[in-house]
A and B are shown apart, each in its own frame.
Chain A
Amino acid sequence: MNQQFKVRCFDAKTGTHPELLLLGENEASVIALAEQAGLTVTGIEAVVAQVAVVVPGSTPVHPQVMVAQVVKAPIVAQPVAPSQPAKPPSPKAPIAVPLATPVGSVAPLVIPVSKSPAPSNPVQRPVSPATKTGDISPPPKRKKHGENLFPPTGEVVINVVPMLDMTFQLLFFFIITFQAPTGLEAQIPLVLPPPEGQQEAAKDKKDKTDKDIVPTIDSDVIVEVKSLNNPQYPGEMGEVEVSALAKEIIRPTPGKSLEDGRNEVLVRLGEAMKQMAQDLKKDKLSLRLKADPGVKWERVIQVADTCRQAKFLGIRFEKPGGS
């Protein structure tokens, strides 16, 4: 009949000194068993209490338990309470390996208890009070970290690291070449007066397509931007002349500063154009915009913008007037 032995040994792999309870016919067989598992036995001692724990079908994790599998015997690594009374060895099998230290002074357990599923028969498993409330019985499905991370079950694991590298490359390329869409710019379509002598000729010829016909706007509304003619402010506009059925000259109130006077002219021009838009009652309003040669482009666009706000969307730029 198998007997239980308390074995203290040295695990060269891990550098620990586990203390085990092993089953065997005699001490020699137990030592052989331990050596088979790669453990150097430093002390052995028979335990009178009979074997207790049967762990059928448990998943072996630690070499100590692997030992149990080797002998196909219900052996389990289990903590040994320090207070457990040392029993004299059986006369049949005297101690082969002398104990390095007396059993009573064994340090508290450092046995790596296997995380195998809890035994179906939990009886008689001596548990030290310190571990009673601890995680001696972890959930059965829990896996040791690093183990079975890539289980050999045919699961394909894609290595995303090179893809990530390449994606970052692309990302930085696009970030660097990124330009915010220039939504700030807008445009004003315009037409010019037809070239001299071409207006009728273009309309007469049938073989010409639409592209060949110079688009033009015929409007009776003429807005003329006059230069301020002040050498101190080159390119500034002075008065604005609006001529439709009647001629209206909008000029700034004397004494106003340059900017105020200009703003006043633009405001009054806007009002006049809105009034004219109401009077004309047309769907498509258009005008001819004329400016003195030296007027700044910015002022011309300001006047054109004011007219566009008054729904005069078709603008034909006229040849600069003389001055």
Chain B
Amino acid sequence: MNSGSGEAHVVEPNLISLLDLVMQLLMFFIMCVTFVTDQAAAEISLPDSQAAAPIEDKDTNVQIVNIRPFNTNDPALIAKYSGNPKYLEEMGKRFLPGQVYVIVSGQDPMSIGSFRNWLRDQHTRATMAMGLEKKAVDTTIIIRAHRDTDYKDVYSVLELCRNQGYNQLVVRVLKV
């Protein structure tokens, strides 16, 4: 009926249903988003475990400590620093092959000796913030140790944390 009538016919898609759908998706992603990107380092390959307990979310006051042996030829490290090979060289000057280093978020990789100093500073800051003379703080230390780390190195880090006043210790594993 409208051929040649010159009347402008505006085609209006029904956007309401589309909007409904988009809102649904949006809600899903908002609910699922986790802004805390876990201070986990990607190059740590955790040991497998079947009987481990699920991670408790209530522990908000945590400090994740990643432990890993250093090796210049390690494919995981080469992959991680593929965009910045100079950095791997730099690390090679600081760490011996096979030496264990510690990664905590916001810090460069450090040796166990530097980690001790860093942890002492953390502990001092935490106790000062609480305004108490207490030695112990209620931060849970989460150890993420690479599966090839020697037991003595993991133990030395655990002991170091405990001696500093962090009594709640947990090790992370990969659930299989």
Q: Could you tell me if B162 and A195 are in contact, using CB atoms closer than 8 angstroms?
A: yes
B30, B34, B155, B173: the one contacting A301 at CB < 8 Å is B173
Interface residues on B, range: 35 or more
Q: Which residues of A in the span 93-109 have a Cβ within 8 Å of any Cβ on B? A: none
Q: Chain B, 15-27, contact with A by CB distance < 8 Å: what is the 0/1 string?
A: 1101100110110
Chain B residues with Cβ below 8 Å from A302 are 47-49
A160 to B66, CA, bound (A): 49
Convert A146-182 into 0s and 1s, putting 1 for each residue whose CB lies closer than 8 angstroms to a CB of B: 1001000000000011011001101100110111011
Residue of A nearest to B67 (CB): A297
Given known A161-B15, A212-B135, A214-B162, contact A297–B151 (CB-CB < 8 A): yes
> Which of A31-39, A70-78, A184-192 makes up part of the contact surface?
A184-192
* B22-A15 in contact (CB<8A): no
Which one of B4-12, B77-85, B105-113, B114-122 contacts A?
Answer: B4-12
In the complex, are the beta carbons of B19 and A163 less than 8 A apart? yes
B4 near A16 (CB under 8 angstroms)?
A: yes
Say how far B112's CB is from chain A's closest CB, in angstroms. 14
Contact among A181, A215, A320 with B155 in the assembled complex (CB-CB below 8 Å): A320
Measured in the bound complex, the distance between the Cα atoms of B33 and A242 in whole Å is 46
Q: Does B128 contact A (CB under 8 A)?
A: no
Q: Are A186 and B158 in contact, CB atoms less than 8 angstroms apart?
A: no
Interface assignment of B142: CB less than 8 Å from any CB of chain A: yes
The answer to whether B162 and A320 touch across the interface, beta carbons within 8 angstroms, is no
Q: Which residues of B contact A304 (CB under 8 A)?
A: 49
Which of A43-51, A243-251, A288-296 sits within the interface?
A288-296
Q: Is the CB of A235 within 8 A of B150?
A: yes
The digit string for A7-40, where 1 denotes a CB below 8 A from any CB of B, is 0000001111000000000000000000000000
Q: In the assembly, what is the distance between CA of A207 and CA of B79, in Å?
A: 52
| A84 interfacial contact with B, CB 8 Å | no
Tell me, in angstroms, the Cα distance from A177 to B162 when the chains sit together: 36
Q: Interface range on chain A: under 10, 10 to 19, 20 to 34, or 35 or more?
A: 35 or more
Alpha-carbon separation in the docked complex, A302 to B9 (Å) = 72
A7 to B20, CA, bound (A): 54
Contact status B136-A211, CB under 8 Å: yes
B25 contact set on A, CB distance < 8 A: 171
Instruction: Report the Cα distance A317→B152, complex, angstroms.
Output: 11
Q: CB of A209 within 8 A of chain B?
A: yes
For residue B152, which residues in chain A have a CB less than 8 angstroms away from its CB?
293-294, 320
Q: Is the CB–CB distance between A301 and B171 below 8 Å?
A: yes
Kindly state whether residue A67 has any CB partner on chain B within 8 Å.
no
Q: Which of A224-253 contact B (CB under 8 A)?
A: 225, 235
| Residue B50 CB within 8 A of the other chain | yes
Q: Which residue of A lies closest to B98 (CB)?
A: A234
Contact call B6/A182, Cβ cutoff below 8 A: no
In the complex, the answer to whether A317 meets B134 with C-beta atoms within 8 Å is no
Contact B145 A184 (CB under 8 A): no
| Chain B residue at minimal CB-CB distance from A290 | B151
Q: Is B29 in contact with A171, judged by CB distance below 8 angstroms?
A: yes
A136–B131 Cα distance when bound, in Å, is 91
The one of B33, B56, B169, B170 in contact with A174, judged by C-beta atoms closer than 8 angstroms, is: B33
Asked whether, in the complex, the Cβ of A188 is within 8 Å of the Cβ of B159, the reply is: no
Q: Judging by beta carbons under 8 Å apart, are B9 and A145 in contact?
A: yes
In the complex, are the beta carbons of A294 and B30 less than 8 A apart? no
Q: Per-position contact with B for A300-320: 1 when CB-CB < 8 Å, else 0?
A: 111011001100000001011
| Cβ contacts A to B, 21 pairs, < 8 Å | A16-B4, A167-B19, A171-B22, A175-B29, A177-B33, A177-B35, A186-B52, A186-B53, A187-B171, A191-B169, A192-B158, A192-B159, A195-B162, A211-B134, A211-B136, A212-B134, A293-B151, A297-B146, A302-B47, A304-B49, A308-B51
* CB-CB nearest 8 A-B residue pairs: A174-B29, A293-B152, A186-B52, A298-B147, A308-B51, A301-B47, A298-B47, A186-B175
